[in-house]
Structure 1
Amino acid sequence: MTGVPTGWRNVLPHLDYDLPDDLPPQSSLSGGVKVNLPLELLRQSRSRAGTVEIPGEVLDQYRRYRPTSLWHARDFGEAVGARVPIYVKYEGANISGSHKLNTALAQAYYYRRAGVQEVVTGTGAGQWGTAIAAACAVFGLRCTVFMVGDSLRRKPYRGTIMRLLGATVHSSPSGLTEVAAGAREGASGNSLALAIGEAVEYAATRDRTAFVIGSGETYSILHQTVIGTEAIEQLAARHAEVDAVIGCVGAGSNFGGIAMPFFADAAEGAGPAPLLLAAESSTTPKLTRGVYAYDRTDATGFGPREAMYTVGSEFAIPPAHAAGLRFHGTAKLLSAMRHRDQIAATAVGQVEAMDAARLFAVHENVVPAPESGHALAAAARVATSGVSDREAHHVARRGILVCLSGHGYLDLAAYEEHLTERLRDESPDDDLIKLATTALSAVPIEGGHLRVP
Structure 2
Amino acid sequence: MTAVPTRWRSVLPHLGQPLPADRTQRSATEGGGGSVQANLPMELLRQSVQSREYWDIPEEVAAAYRRFRPTPLWRARAFEEAVGARVPIWVKYEGGNISGSHKLNTALAQAYYYHRAGVQELVTGTGAGQWGTALAAACARFGMRCTVFMVGGSLERKPYRGVLMRMLGARVISSPSTLTEVARSGRSAGNSLSLAIGEAVEYAARTDGAAFCIGSGETYSILHQSVIGLEAIDQLAEEGGAVDAVVGCVGAGSNFGGIALPFHARAAAEGTEAPALIAAESSTTPKLTRGVYAYDRTDATGSSPLEAMYTIGSDYAIPDSHSAGLRYHGAAKVISAMRHAGQVSATAVDQVAALAAGRAFTTAEMTLPAPESGHALAAAARAAGDGGGDGDAPRARTGVLVCVSGHGYLDLGAYQQFLQDELTDRAPDPAALADAVAGLARLDAPADAAGAPGRVTVPPAGPAGRPAGAAVGYGEVR
- Match for residue 84 of structure 1 among 59, 64, 87: 87
Partner of 1:6: 6
In 1, Cα distance between equivalents of 2:445 and 2:320: 34
- Deviates further, 3-12 or 268-277: 268-277
- Match for residue 104 of structure 1 among 103, 107, 116: 107
Q: Is 2:147 aligned against 1:144?
A: yes
1:226-258 CA-to-partner distances (Å, cap 9, x unmatched) read 000000000000111000000000000000000
Asked if 2 retains the 8 angstrom alpha-carbon contact of 1:225 and 1:257, the reply is yes
Measured after TM superposition, the shift of residue 25 of structure 1 is: 3.0
Partner of 1:422: 422
1:93-134 CA-to-partner distances (Å, cap 9, x unmatched) read 000000000000000000011110001000000000000000
Asked if 1 retains the 8 angstrom alpha-carbon contact of 2:38 and 2:45, the reply is no
- Report the TM-score when normalising by structure 1: 0.95
Secondary structure in 2 aligned to 1:315? coil
Secondary structure in 2 aligned to 1:103? helix
Measured after TM superposition, the shift of residue 271 of structure 1 is: 2.6
- Deviates further, 436-445 or 64-73: 436-445
Measured after TM superposition, the shift of residue 445 of structure 1 is: 7.2
Secondary structure in 2 aligned to 1:423? coil
Q: Is 2:442 aligned against 1:442?
A: yes
Partner of 2:299: 298
| Gap change, CA 1:393 and 1:60, over 3 Å in 2 | closer
Runs of 4+ off more than 6 Å: 445-448
Measured after TM superposition, the shift of residue 192 of structure 1 is: 0.3
Note the 1:198-277 alignment, pairs <5 A: 198-269=199-270, 271-277=272-278
In 1, Cα distance between equivalents of 2:140 and 2:299: 26
In 1, Cα distance between equivalents of 2:282 and 2:205: 32
What's the Cα RMSD here? Answer: 1.8
Partner of 2:190: 188
1:126-170 CA-to-partner distances (Å, cap 9, x unmatched) read 000000000000011100000000000000000000000000000
Secondary structure in 1 aligned to 2:315? coil
Aligned residue identity for 1:174: S
In 2, Cα distance between equivalents of 1:180 and 1:393: 37
Partner of 1:412: 412
Measured after TM superposition, the shift of residue 444 of structure 1 is: 5.6
Partner of 1:397: 397
Aligned residue identity for 1:206: T
Note the 1:356-395 alignment, pairs <5 A: 356-387=357-388, 394-395=394-395
- Match for residue 68 of structure 2 among 35, 59, 65: 65
1:293-347 CA-to-partner distances (Å, cap 9, x unmatched) read 0000001111111000000001000001121000000000110110111000000
Measured after TM superposition, the shift of residue 47 of structure 1 is: 1.9
Q: Is 2:98 aligned against 1:95?
A: yes
Measured after TM superposition, the shift of residue 183 of structure 1 is: 2.1
Partner of 1:30: none
| Gap change, CA 1:393 and 1:19, over 3 Å in 2 | closer
Secondary structure in 2 aligned to 1:426? coil
Asked if 2 retains the 8 angstrom alpha-carbon contact of 1:388 and 1:394, the reply is no
1:350-380 CA-to-partner distances (Å, cap 9, x unmatched) read 0000000000000101110000000000011
In 2, Cα distance between equivalents of 1:36 and 1:340: 29
Asked if 1 retains the 8 angstrom alpha-carbon contact of 2:5 and 2:231, the reply is yes
Asked if 1 retains the 8 angstrom alpha-carbon contact of 2:349 and 2:390, the reply is no
In 2, Cα distance between equivalents of 1:58 and 1:111: 13
Aligned residue identity for 1:372: S
In 1, Cα distance between equivalents of 2:11 and 2:187: 39
In 2, Cα distance between equivalents of 1:25 and 1:169: 30
Asked if 1 retains the 8 angstrom alpha-carbon contact of 2:245 and 2:400, the reply is yes
Aligned residue identity for 2:125: G
Asked if 2 retains the 8 angstrom alpha-carbon contact of 1:309 and 1:329, the reply is yes
Aligned residue identity for 1:137: A
Secondary structure in 2 aligned to 1:228? helix
Measured after TM superposition, the shift of residue 37 of structure 1 is: 1.0
- Deviates further, 17-26 or 436-445: 436-445
Flag the structure with more relative contact order, 1 or 2, with Cα contacts below 8 A and sequence separation at least 6. 2
1:373-406 CA-to-partner distances (Å, cap 9, x unmatched) read 000000111111113677x662111100000000
Please, which runs of 5 or more residues in structure 1 have no aligned partner?
A: 28-33
Asked if 2 retains the 8 angstrom alpha-carbon contact of 1:26 and 1:302, the reply is no
Secondary structure in 2 aligned to 1:121? strand
Asked if 1 retains the 8 angstrom alpha-carbon contact of 2:345 and 2:393, the reply is no
Q: Is 2:198 aligned against 1:197?
A: yes
Identity %: 66
Asked if 1 retains the 8 angstrom alpha-carbon contact of 2:312 and 2:330, the reply is yes
Measured after TM superposition, the shift of residue 82 of structure 1 is: 0.2
Partner of 2:32: none
Asked if 2 retains the 8 angstrom alpha-carbon contact of 1:344 and 1:389, the reply is no
| Gap change, CA 1:70 and 1:445, over 3 Å in 2 | farther
Measured after TM superposition, the shift of residue 429 of structure 1 is: 1.2
Measured after TM superposition, the shift of residue 446 of structure 1 is: 7.7
Asked if 1 retains the 8 angstrom alpha-carbon contact of 2:383 and 2:393, the reply is no
Partner of 2:288: 287
Q: Is 2:178 aligned against 1:175?
A: yes
In 2, Cα distance between equivalents of 1:38 and 1:247: 29
Secondary structure in 2 aligned to 1:106? helix
Measured after TM superposition, the shift of residue 268 of structure 1 is: 1.2
In 2, Cα distance between equivalents of 1:65 and 1:330: 28
Partner of 1:119: 122
